[in-house]
Amino acid sequence: MKEPGTAYDDPLLGQDPQPGHMRDYVDTFSDSGGVHINSGIPNRAFYLTAVRIGGYAWEKAGAIWFDTLTNNSLKPTAQFSTFARQTLRSAVAIFGLDSSEYDAVREGWAGVGIDV
């Protein structure tokens, strides 16, 4: 999650192609539109958020992501920007609009090129 694209560097497989920023987004029809290859982008946003919040990742950042993924607000076709907005809504619902957790989520997404 910290550094997408560094999971492997193999003579047969090549280097891990997973991007960690929107500037490197892979636009493809394979892999269901790049759902797996591009997953490093929201994964890195989570990492950046969790580090900024501090403590155990599952306590606050994890609670925000879990709420977003389980509250039935996301559609299967959601874009990263939609997911980012939903994580902000979850941060507000759990911690409040003026919370450091809300700011951390916003900055986590900005760190991967998604401004919300």
Question: What is the reported pTM?
Answer: 0.93
| Average pLDDT, rounded, for the chain | 95
* Higher pLDDT among residues 35 and 107, named by residue: 107
How high is the pLDDT of residue 49? Answer: 98
Position 10 pLDDT exceeds 90 = yes
User: Sorting pLDDT into bands at 50, 70 and 90, what band is 31?
Assistant: confident
Domain ranges of the chain: 9-110
Helices and strands counted in the chain (H then E): 5, 2
Fold (topology level) of 9-110:
Neutral Protease; domain 2 (1.10.390)
Q: How far apart are CA 65 and CA 60, in angstroms?
A: 9
Q: Is the pLDDT of residue 54 over 90?
A: yes
CB burial of residue 35 (10 Å; 0-12, 13-18, 19+): exposed
Contact 89, 72 (CB under 8 A): no
